[in-house]
Structure 1
């Protein structure tokens, strides 16, 4: 475990591995939020189209 902790703290000059992995997690959450918003928008569009066709 100590080896992994040291590896995560190694820096390439700008970012440590720990910072890079944290950034990757944040980007995955951001992408998931965008995907969720797109799905919800699509659902709203379909519902509105169905209502227009029924009217």
Structure 2
């Protein structure tokens, strides 16, 4: 896994389900079942520099 620091002016994209739209910076939804990069119980934000990539993450 590669962790990259992003600057304050960088634009990142994320698709949200209506259930979590009120908490756009929360990783609570990912913590429920876990994912490719996080175990169950560990919050994670899946972000992308490209809108299409964010959409593909959302579809999984």
Larger radius of gyration: 1
Same topology, TM > 0.5: no
Q: TM-score, normalised by structure 2?
A: 0.21
Higher relative contact order (CA 8 A, sep 6+): 2
